[in-house]
Each structure stands twice: as C-alpha cells, then as structure tokens.
Structure 1
Amino acid sequence: MKTYLKLSLLVLLTTLSFLAEAQTKLLSRLESPIIFKGNDTTAYRDPAVLYHNNVFYLFFTLVKTEDGKIYSYTAESHSTDLKNWSPKKILTPKDQTLDFSSPGNIIKFNDEWILCLQTYPRPNHTTDQEVRYGSKDARLFTMRSKDLINWGKPEIIKVKGPDVAPADMGRMIDPYLLEDKDEKGKYWCFYKQNGVSMSYSYDLKNWKFHGNTESGENVCVLNEKDDYILFHSPRNGIAIKRSSDLYYWQDWGNLITLGQDKWEWAKGRITAGTVLKLNKYIMFFHGSGPKIEDEGDFDKNASIGIAWSNDLLNWDWPAK
C-alpha cells in the first residue's frame, strides 16, 4: 500500500511538473502582450478566464458599433496555446436595454458550469453622444452550461436576499463568485456597489447580504493559504487587498500598471485584471488608449492583454 501511494505521489508530481513546464513554454512563445486588439469600432473589455482540460476559455465584454449605435455583448473564445484563438462567439442578445457584459468568472457547481455577468443598460446609445455609462438598472446575472460552449439564458442573482425585489436592489456591476476557503459548499458573490459588496449562498439561488469594504471595480478574488486575495481596479491600474475573514481588509503590494508607459494601446487606462493561479499567476486585463476612457476610448480602442508573475509583485509580459 505504501509503495502504491509513493508511486501515485510520484506520478502526480511528475504530471504537475510537466504541466508547469508546458505552461511556461506557452507564455515564453507569445510575441505580444495583446490577446485581442480593439479598433475604432470595437472594444474588448473585462476578461474572465477558466483553464480546464488544457484549454483556456476566455469570456469578455465585446463592444461593437453597429449602424451608429453601440452595443455590449458577452462573448467567448478558447485556445490551447494562448496564441491561436477560436472564432469569437457572442453569447448574449443584441439589446441596449440589457447589454449583458463584464463576465466575472466561471465556477463548477454540481454538474454545471456557472458564469456570472451583469447588465449594463444604455438605451439608445449612439456614436454621436458622449461616453455614457450603464444606468441605475444594472444588475447581476448567472448563465449555466454543461460544456462551456452552449449556455442557457441569464438568470438574475438576488444578492440582497429573496425578499428584496430587483427594482430595489440598487445599481450593481462586476460580479465574481468564489467558494469559501473555510466552509465547503458556501459561495460568495463579490460585486461593485458601495465599494465591493459581498453576499453568500449555499445553493447559488438564495443569497444573504454580508457587508462591504472600500474597493475599486472589476474585483477578482483568490483563495490562498489563510487569506483571500482581492484584485480591484481604481481609476488606473490594478491594486490588491488581503483579508483572512472578509471583514478586515489590508492593502498589499504595489499598484500594477505593467508596461503602460510604453504601450500606446493602454495609455488611457489599465484595468479589469483577472488572475488565474497555475504554476504562475497569469493576469488577463484590458487596456484602453491612447485616449483616456472618459474622452472616448471606452467603447472603442480597448484591448485584452496578458502578463504573469511568480509573486504578485514582479510582473512579466511578452516582449518585455
């Protein structure tokens, strides 16, 4: 029995070492930090990433200018090498009163994949208007899938509790789902409202509000050892907070701006960092520019980029 366990452990360690080496090679072969490049009629924003069965599934906001109007969609593409991506597939309807967008992340719950996202209503938003942000009716949703390719219709997340009507929940954006680090089967939803707010559920249907803390937008949260590590976006760059209990948070590390000082495509803003922990921390983010978003590069000229780190303090990217 001991020999079998030793052999099993050896096989596991060998497999993990092989995977780590393979992932390092994938990163080293990338020639540009840009995964998807925006232009005058297209923006790629708010990446969410899942690594499953050696495939990277990338979900993101796709903003398109069509016949003078601006629409937001949630879209998906996948890759085995981070370089060659499948055709971008739109998952949500064309409807400015909804504009489903900002996917947060994807988790496995029972036998289904759960993707969280938001609405970002901008009715009758046209290119001749100034930059317009989502209305007070923005809410949080989930979508479900068996295979990560075919997705069901969005369902609202009643993060304020079953007795609070959607109309009374207030504006909320940028959801992120995470299982509790100490209590298996308990799930948290983090979302942008009064800083970052937090609610929890045991079935992803009935939620209870927990509280909030000061934070920027587009949060991503990892469980690591005894801490929750929260990535968030202030006005520019990506910042980190840590907490052991979701009540008390401390700022940690430096503001992450990567190669912004040399990247025309991200001069306006770097934001929406989501971090995948493999053998390294791999960060997907979006950069907009050369203008700042308030001056026009919000619905266009936004691109999804990639960087990585061993310690969350020192970052590398292709062609650094």
Structure 2
Amino acid sequence: MISIKKCSTPLILIMLFFSTQIIAQNSIINNLNTPILFKGNDSIAYRDPAILYHNNKFHLFYTLVKSENGFIYSYTAQSTSSDLQLWSPSKIITPKGQNLNYCSPGNVIRFKDEWVLSLQTYPRPGLRSTDKTSYGTADARVFIMRSKDLETWSEPEVLKVKGPDIKLADMGRMIDPYLVEDKDEKGKWWCFYKQNGVSMSFSYDLRNWTYCCNTESGENVSVLKENEEYILLHSPKNGIAIKRSKNLRDWTDWGNLIVLGQKQWTWAKGRISAGTVIDLRSNSKFGKYLMFFHGSGPKTEEEGDFDKNASLGIAWSDDLLHWNWPQEDSK
C-alpha cells in the first residue's frame, strides 16, 4: 500500500488528474435529471429518433407529428446539442403534405463528400386530429436526403431498393430505412427496411440497388457493427429487442426485451419503441453506448397516443444488456 504522506508532489498531482478524468468521463450523462429529451403533449408527438455525433455535437433527427388546423401532419425535424440538455429548437427539413408525410429518419452516414439521411414517407391523406389512430398507407416508401453541412438538405430521393426493374407502384409498403456499410467490403452499402420482417438490399452508389434477403423482425431497425458481427436493434409491439448475425442471413436473438423504466414512466406507459444506439465507449466524455428512443403514453398508441403524447428519451449501457437512465423527475 502506498502512503500518501510519502508520495511526491508530482505523483499526487498525477493521481488527482486521473481521478478528475474518471469523474468527468460521465459528467454529461450524470448531469441529466430526466430521461426525457423532448416532451410531447396533446397536439405534438416526437418519435423515431436518429442520432449523429460529429465535432463534439449531437445532431438529433426525429419525426415531428403536429396537429395543424384540425389535420395531422408528420415531418422530419432536427435539433442539435453539445450537452444533451440544451437543444436547439426543432427545425423542420421536409415539406408539408399528408400525401407524403416525410418522417421516421433512420440514420445519417458519410458518403463521399456528403451527409446522407435515410427516411420514409407515411401517407395519411385527409387524417384529422379527431379521427381514430390511423397508420400509413401502402404507398409508404423509403428515401434519402443529402447535405454538405448538416443544415441544408436536398429534396428527398426515392430508393428503389427492390431493383431498377421494379416499378415504384409495385415495390410494396416499406418503412424505417437504415443505412450501413458492409463490414467486409468497403464501399458496399446496405439498406435495412421494414418489409416482410426486415428486408435488406445493397448498393455501391446509393442509386442502383440489389435486393438480398429478409429476416423476422419488428420495426425501426438500427444496426451496429462490432466484433465481426452485425447487431440489429428492432421494435416488436413493445420494447426493444436485439439480434446478431455474422452474414446478414443467419440471425440469433440476443439478450432480454429492453423496456427500461417503463413501469415507472407514465409518459412511456403505452409503448417504448424505436431505440437507436450510438457507440461512444471510446469517447472520454461518455464512455458508454447511448440509446435514443421514443415512449408514448399514458395511453397506448391504439388508444390514441400515437400522434400526440410521444416523447424522446435517452438511456446508456456498457454492454447493450444492462441499461441506466436519469432517475429524477422521470414520471
């Protein structure tokens, strides 16, 4: 055992420095006093988060559902933050229109000299705020938008993920796209999307796509690459589940259903869903996996808390199996 009295001044300073670093490592998440990042209400829902951490700033993209003049509209919006507490106001980046309703951003990737955001349409023409819960029509398709600076975005481009010879009208309903570069072949990009479970198509230019395969899955898929595996998070009827694969064809369920603090959270009592994870374990400011998700409640989505009372939340983990979140003011 080392006696502090016998330690030299430089050694004491070194010990104090590393102690300070350990405390500071998780100070950002430890300073959070609520798991809620954006709180929905009777006329607004925040859903389907997508996250990018770039240049010490979080870029959060999400579905913003609003009741306007008695009608329900869905948009893709974005906000930024450096500390996960103070967020810039919601900035809508997609056009207004119930026949399209661009929403459900999947993720942002860097492709050549551009940022590329994946998203979908969710047509619900004529939907009023007084109508029963109604879901997107069979015309829902997947898209991308491009940006040089993460601020100004191009017009959405449809992804013909079933191949160039399949007409747009014959592609079938598809939602929740997510883009991932192949773990074994640089420059080969996969698009995961909700259709027949989760379907997968690949491309080398994000314009010409080849359909590959599908596997059983819930919605709102997000994918990590780790230890020569793909880790797929998806949303069944409630909660967030995980699958693993080495080859995109053979998938194994892994871990337990993740429901976080749902039993104590009135704001998420109806459903927890759309979990997406960013790996910041190597970042000294965090040292964790961070999960962004949405919770709806107190009613279920079928009971009415689909286009309102949905909020964005945060949790963190060391291993994707055991999760923590701010414990105060979380009801």
Deviations 1:283-319, CA, capped at 9 Å, x for gaps? 0000000000000000000000000000111100012
Secondary structure (helix, strand or coil) at the match of 1:251 reads strand
Aligned residues: 304
- Computing the radius of gyration from Cα coordinates, the structure with the larger value is 2
Find the counterpart in structure 2 of residue 125 from structure 1. Answer: 127
Query: Paired residue for 2:206, among 199, 204, 221?
Result: 204
Find the counterpart in structure 1 of residue 137 from structure 2. Answer: 135
**1:32 maps to amino acid:** T
Find the counterpart in structure 2 of residue 283 from structure 1. Answer: 291
Question: TM-score, with normalisation over the residues of structure 1?
Answer: 0.93
> Offset at 1:163?
1.1
**1:230 maps to amino acid:** L
State the distance in 1 between where 2:65 and 2:34 align.
Answer: 22
Deviations 1:65-108, CA, capped at 9 Å, x for gaps? 01110000000000000000011100011100000000000000
> Offset at 1:20?
8.9
Find the counterpart in structure 2 of residue 29 from structure 1. Answer: 31
Secondary structure (helix, strand or coil) at the match of 2:248 reads coil
Find the counterpart in structure 1 of residue 190 from structure 2. Answer: 188
Name segments (4+ residues, structure 1) moved above 3 Å.
Answer: 18-23
Deviations 1:237-291, CA, capped at 9 Å, x for gaps? 0000000000100000010000000000000000000000011110000000000
> Offset at 1:24?
1.7
Find the counterpart in structure 1 of residue 311 from structure 2. Answer: 303
> Offset at 1:129?
1.2
Find the counterpart in structure 2 of residue 248 from structure 1. Answer: 250
> Offset at 1:23?
5.7
> Offset at 1:25?
1.4
- 5 Å-filtered alignment, 1:203-222, equals 203-222=205-224
Find the counterpart in structure 2 of residue 235 from structure 1. Answer: 237
State the distance in 2 between where 1:19 and 1:81 align.
Answer: 17
- The verdict on how the C-alpha distance between 1:286 and 1:19 changes in structure 2, with shifts beyond 3 A counting, is farther
Secondary structure (helix, strand or coil) at the match of 1:294 reads coil
Find the counterpart in structure 2 of residue 64 from structure 1. Answer: 66
Deviations 1:20-41, CA, capped at 9 Å, x for gaps? 9756211011010000000000
**1:158 maps to amino acid:** K
> Offset at 1:226?
1.3
Query: Paired residue for 2:167, among 165, 168, 191?
Result: 165
> Offset at 1:162?
1.0
- 5 Å-filtered alignment, 1:42-81, equals 42-81=44-83
Unpaired runs of 5+ residues, structure 1, are: 1-17
> Offset at 1:225?
1.1
Query: Paired residue for 1:316, among 300, 324, 328?
Result: 324
Secondary structure (helix, strand or coil) at the match of 1:188 reads strand
- 5 Å-filtered alignment, 1:104-119, equals 104-119=106-121
State the distance in 2 between where 1:89 and 1:140 align.
Answer: 21
- 5 Å-filtered alignment, 1:258-297, equals 258-279=260-281, 280-297=288-305
Give the share of equivalent positions with the same residue, in percent. 68
Unpaired runs of 5+ residues, structure 2, are: 1-19, 282-287
State the distance in 1 between where 2:22 and 2:216 align.
Answer: 35
Question: TM-score, with normalisation over the residues of structure 2?
Answer: 0.90
> Offset at 1:127?
1.5
State the distance in 2 between where 1:21 and 1:141 align.
Answer: 42
Q: Is the 8 A contact 1:69 1:127 kept in 2?
A: yes
Deviations 1:197-220, CA, capped at 9 Å, x for gaps? 000001111000001000000000
- The verdict on how the C-alpha distance between 1:232 and 1:20 changes in structure 2, with shifts beyond 3 A counting, is farther
- The verdict on how the C-alpha distance between 1:260 and 1:97 changes in structure 2, with shifts beyond 3 A counting, is same
State the distance in 2 between where 1:49 and 1:112 align.
Answer: 16
